[in-house]
C-alpha cells in the first residue's frame, strides 16, 4: 500500500507539473527540434551558396564587398553573410555555426510575436500566437534550410512590435528599435523589410483614420535611422559596383549596386526590370501555404475569412483599441507578392507571424465551443501526421535507431492523453496539435533528413576530401560542381579541363559525375576510382525516389578519382 501510495503521489505531482508548465514544455520541445535541425547538413542550392559566401567572407574578411567563388556577388543583401562569417570566425566552420545567428533571430521573432499579440489582446493569446508560429512547418524549415528569410521573419515582426509600441506609448526607444529592426530586415532581404511593416502599420492607421500618427514628423527620423543602419551596405555596393560600370553581373552591363538593391532585385520582379521568372501562377502562394501553415491551416482559413468579414461589416473602420496590422499586413502583402514574376514558397514566410496572430485570436474566441464534436474532428485530422510517420518508417527510410519510433509513439500517446484529460477549452485541441507537430518534426529532424542527406553526394565527397587533408591544389572538379562541395571541403574547388587532366600531378583528386566518369574511362585517362556516391537532389523529391523499392532507378552516381 505504501509503495502504491507513493507511486500515485509521484504521478499526481508529475501530472500537475505537466499541466502547470505545458506551454513551457511545448516551447522547450520545439527548441530542441530547432537544435536538431541546426546540426543537419546544409542543403543545395540557396542555403549552400550562402554558406559558401559566408565561409569565403570569413577567409578574406571582405565584409563590405561580397564575393562568391572570387567573383562579384550582387543578389542578396549581406546580413546573413556578415552574421554567419562572424560565427565561423568565432566558433569555427560547421552546420551549427552557419545556422546559429539566423535561428537566434527567428527566436526573437517568436518572442516579438508573443509581445505584439499580448499588447493588443492578452497573455494567453500571445502565448498561443507564439506557439502557432513556432510550430508551423514553415518555421521548422526556416531553422533547417537557412536562407535570408529566416532573419527577415524575425526582424519584420520585431519592427512591427516596436512601431506599435511607439504609437501607443510615444517613447523614443521604441522608434529607434523599430527603425533598427526595419534596417536589419532590409539588410536581410532588401526593401521588402521596409514594405511589410509600412503596409501593416500604415493600413492600420488608415482604417482608424488616425491621421495624427500617420503623418508624424518622427517617421522622417525613423527613416533617417534606417538609412544609417543601411549605410555600410550602401557604401560597399557603391564601391564594388557603381564605381565600376565596366562590370557585367547577372547579364546586366555596369549595374548600379544601389539601384539593384533598392529597386531591381525586389520591385523589378514585378515590373519586369530583371529577367528572373518562373512558371508560377498568381495563386502559387495560395497553394503553398496549405502545407507551410500546417498543422494550423484548418483554423487559419476560417480565421482569415471571418476577420475579413468583420472588417467589411464595420465598413473598413476600426476603433483605436482594435488592430488591423495583422490582417492588412497578411492580405495586402500576399496579394502584392503574388504579382511577382518569380515566386518560391518561402517568400511569404515573413508574413506568417501575422497569420499566427489571426489564427490565435480565432482559436481563443472559440472558448467553450471546443467540445467533443470539433475536438474529435481535429484529433482525427492530426492522425494523418502519425500515418505519414508510419509510412516514412515502412516505405521510405527503414528504422535503424529504435529509439526514434519509441519517442514518436510516446508523443502519440501524450497527444491522445491530453485530448482526453482536457475536457473543454482551447487547450483540448491546441495541446494535441502541438504535440503532433513536435512528433512529426522530431522524426523529420532525426530520421527523414539524416537519411535523405545521405544522397547529397557532393557534401559527402567534400567531407571526405577535408578529412583526408587533401591540399587546395590537390583537388579539382571535372564537368560538374555543387555548392556543398566547396563548403564541406572547406575551399573553393577549381575546375579542370579535359586537356589538363593528364598533366595533373600524381595523387591529385578530382570530383565528377557519371558523364565525367564515363569520359575518363572511355579515353583511358590515368585515373583510378577512390569513392563512389549515390546522388539525388534533396530538394527535388519525387514519389519514385521516396519509394525505397523504386529508388535505385532514380539515382545518379558521383565519383572521386585519383591521378595515378
**Total residues found in the chain within this entry:** 564
Is 392 in the same domain as 256? Answer: no
Q: Which of 302, 337, 365 is the last residue of a domain?
A: 365
Q: What is the pLDDT of residues 446-488, one digit of tens each?
A: 999 999 999 999 999 999 999 999 998 999 999 999 999 999 9
Share the mean pLDDT of the chain: 90
The range of the structural domain enclosing residue 155 comes to 28-365
Sign of CA dihedral 210, 215, 220, 223: positive
Residue 279 confidence (pLDDT): 65
Q: What is the pLDDT of residues 143-153, one digit of tens each?
A: 999 999 999 99
Q: What is the pLDDT of residues 342-367, one digit of tens each?
A: 788 889 999 999 999 999 999 998 87
d(CA 382, CA 374): 13
Is 186 in the same domain as 129? Answer: yes
Q: Which of 365, 385, 416 is the last residue of a domain?
A: 365
* Ranges of H-type helices in 94-246: 95-120, 123-134, 137-142, 148-169, 172-189, 192-207, 211-214, 218-237
Q: Would you say residue 409 lies in a domain?
A: yes
To which residue does cell 574547388 refer? 493
CATH code of 469's domain: 3.40.190
pLDDT of 1 higher than 50: no
**Portion of the chain with pLDDT greater than 70, in percent:** 95
Q: Would you say residue 244 lies in a domain?
A: yes
Residue 183 confidence (pLDDT): 96
Is 143 in the same domain as 266? Answer: yes
Q: Would you say residue 1 lies in a domain?
A: no
How many distinct structural domains can be found in the chain? Answer: 3
Q: Give the model's confidence band at 118: pLDDT under 50 very low, under 70 low, under 90 confident, else very high.
A: very high
Mean pLDDT of 421-427: 79
**In sequence order, what DSSP letters do the residues of 512-549 get, joined into one string?**
EEHHHHHHHHHTT-SEEEEEEEEE--TTS--HHHHSTT
Q: Give the model's confidence band at 3: pLDDT under 50 very low, under 70 low, under 90 confident, else very high.
A: low
Q: Would you say residue 226 lies in a domain?
A: yes
Q: Would you say residue 23 lies in a domain?
A: no
Is 329 in the same domain as 397? Answer: no
Which of helix, strand or coil describes residue 190?
Answer: coil
Maximum average pLDDT range among 236-245, 430-439, 535-544: 430-439
Q: Would you say residue 17 lies in a domain?
A: no
Is 417 in the same domain as 474? Answer: no
Is 409 in the same domain as 466? Answer: no
Angle in degrees, CA 121, 123, 129, rounded to 5: 75
Q: Which of 411, 427, 454 is the last residue of a domain?
A: 454
Is 128 in the same domain as 197? Answer: yes
Is 443 in the same domain as 427? Answer: yes
Q: Give the model's confidence band at 272: pLDDT under 50 very low, under 70 low, under 90 confident, else very high.
A: low
Mean pLDDT of 514-524: 91
Q: Would you say residue 539 lies in a domain?
A: yes
Is 358 in the same domain as 385? Answer: no
Q: Would you say residue 19 lies in a domain?
A: no
Q: Give the model's confidence band at 251: pLDDT under 50 very low, under 70 low, under 90 confident, else very high.
A: confident
Q: What is the pLDDT of residues 182-241, one digit of tens each?
A: 999 999 999 999 999 999 999 999 999 999 999 999 999 999 999 999 999 999 999 999
Is 530 in the same domain as 408? Answer: no
Is 450 in the same domain as 374? Answer: yes
Residue 273 confidence (pLDDT): 56
Is 423 in the same domain as 493? Answer: no
Amino acid at each position: 500500500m505504501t509503495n502504491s501510495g507513493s507511486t500515485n503521489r509521484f504521478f499526481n505531482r508529475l501530472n500537475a507539473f505537466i499541466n502547470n508548465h505545458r506551454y513551457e514544455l511545448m516551447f522547450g520541445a520545439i527548441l530542441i527540434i530547432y537544435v536538431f535541425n541546426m546540426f543537419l547538413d546544409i542543403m543545395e542550392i540557396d542555403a549552400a551558396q550562402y554558406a559558401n559566401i559566408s565561409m569565403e567572407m570569413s577567409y578574406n574578411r571582405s565584409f563590405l564587398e561580397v564575393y562568391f567563388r572570387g567573383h562579384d556577388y550582387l543578389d542578396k543583401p549581406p546580413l546573413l553573410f556578415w552574421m554567419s562569417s562572424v560565427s565561423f570566425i568565432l566558433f569555427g566552420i560547421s552546420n551549427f555555426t552557419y545556422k546559429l545567428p539566423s535561428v537566434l533571430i527567428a527566436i526573437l521573432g517568436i518572442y516579438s510575436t508573443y509581445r505584439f499579440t499580448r499588447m493588443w489582446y492578452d497573455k494567453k493569446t500571445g502565448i498561443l500566437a507564439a506557439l502557432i508560429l513556432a510550430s508551423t512547418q514553415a518555421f521548422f524549415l526556416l531553422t533547417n534550410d537557412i536562407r535570408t528569410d529566416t532573419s527577415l521573419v524575425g526582424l519584420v515582426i520585431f519592427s512591427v512590435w516596436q512601431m506599435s509600441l511607439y504609437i501607443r506609448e510615444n517613447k523614443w526607444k521604441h522608434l529607434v528599435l523599430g527603425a533598427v529592426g526595419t534596417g536589419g530586415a532590409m539588410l536581410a532581404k532588401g526593401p521588402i523589410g521596409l514594405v511589410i511593416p509600412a503596409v501593416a502599420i500604415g493600413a492600420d492607421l488608415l482604417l482608424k483614420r488616425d491621421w495624427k500618427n500617420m503623418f508624424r514628423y518622427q517617421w522622417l527620423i525613423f527613416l533617417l535611422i534606417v538609412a544609417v543602419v543601411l549605410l555600410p551596405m550602401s557604401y560597399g555596393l557603391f564601391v564594388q559596383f557603381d564605381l565600376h560600370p565596366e562590370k557585367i553581373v547577372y547579364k546586366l552591363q555596369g549595374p548600379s549596386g544601389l539601384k539593384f538593391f533598392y529597386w531591381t532585385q525586389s520591385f523589378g520582379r514585378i515590373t519586369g526590370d530583371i529577367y528572373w521568372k518562373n512558371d508560377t501562377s498568381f495563386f502559387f502562394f495560395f497553394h503553398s501555404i496549405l502545407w507551410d501553415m500546417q498543422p494550423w491551416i484548418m483554423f487559419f482559413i476560417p480565421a482569415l475569412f471571418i476577420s475579413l468579414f468583420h472588417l467589411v461589416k464595420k465598413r473598413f473602420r476600426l476603433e483605436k483599441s482594435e488592430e488591423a496590422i495583422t490582417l492588412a499586413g497578411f492580405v495586402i502583402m500576399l496579394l502584392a507578392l503574388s504579382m511577382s514574376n518569380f515566386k518560391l514558397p518561402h517568400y511569404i514566410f515573413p508574413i506568417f507571424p501575422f497569420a499566427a496572430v489571426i489564427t490565435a485570436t480565432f482559436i481563443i474566441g472559440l472558448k467553450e465551443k471546443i467540445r467533443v464534436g470539433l475536438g474529435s474532428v481535429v484529433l482525427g485530422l492530426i492522425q494523418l501526421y502519425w500515418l505519414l510517420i508510419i509510412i516514412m518508417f515502412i516505405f521510405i527510410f527503414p528504422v535503424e535507431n529504435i529509439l526514434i519510433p519509441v519517442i514518436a509513439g510516446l508523443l502519440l500517446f501524450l497527444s491522445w492523453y491530453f485530448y482526453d484529460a482536457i475536457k473543454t477549452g482551447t487547450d483540448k485541441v491546441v495541446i494535441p496539435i502541438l504535440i503532433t507537430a513536435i512528433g512529426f518534426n522530431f522524426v523529420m529532424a532525426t530520421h527523414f533528413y539524416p537519411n535523405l542527406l545521405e544522397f547529397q553526394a557532393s557534401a559527402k565527397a567534400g567531407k571526405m576530401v577535408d578529412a583526408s587533408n587533401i591540399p587546395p591544389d590537390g583537388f579539382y572538379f571535372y564537368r560538374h560542381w555543387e555548392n556543398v562541395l566547396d563548403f564541406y571541403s572547406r575551399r573553393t574547388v577549381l575546375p579542370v579541363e579535359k586537356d589538363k587532366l593528364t598533366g595533373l600531378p600524381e595523387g591529385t583528386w578530382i570530383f565528377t559525375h557519371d558523364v565525367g566518369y564515363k569520359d575518363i574511362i572511355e579515353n583511358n585517362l590515368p585515373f583510378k576510382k577512390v569513392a563512389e556516391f549515390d546522388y539525388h537532389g534533396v530538394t527535388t523529391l519525387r514519389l519514385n525516389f521516396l519509394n525505397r523499392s523504386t529508388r535505385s532507378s532514380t539515382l545518379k552516381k558521383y565519383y572521386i578519382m585519383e591521378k595515378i
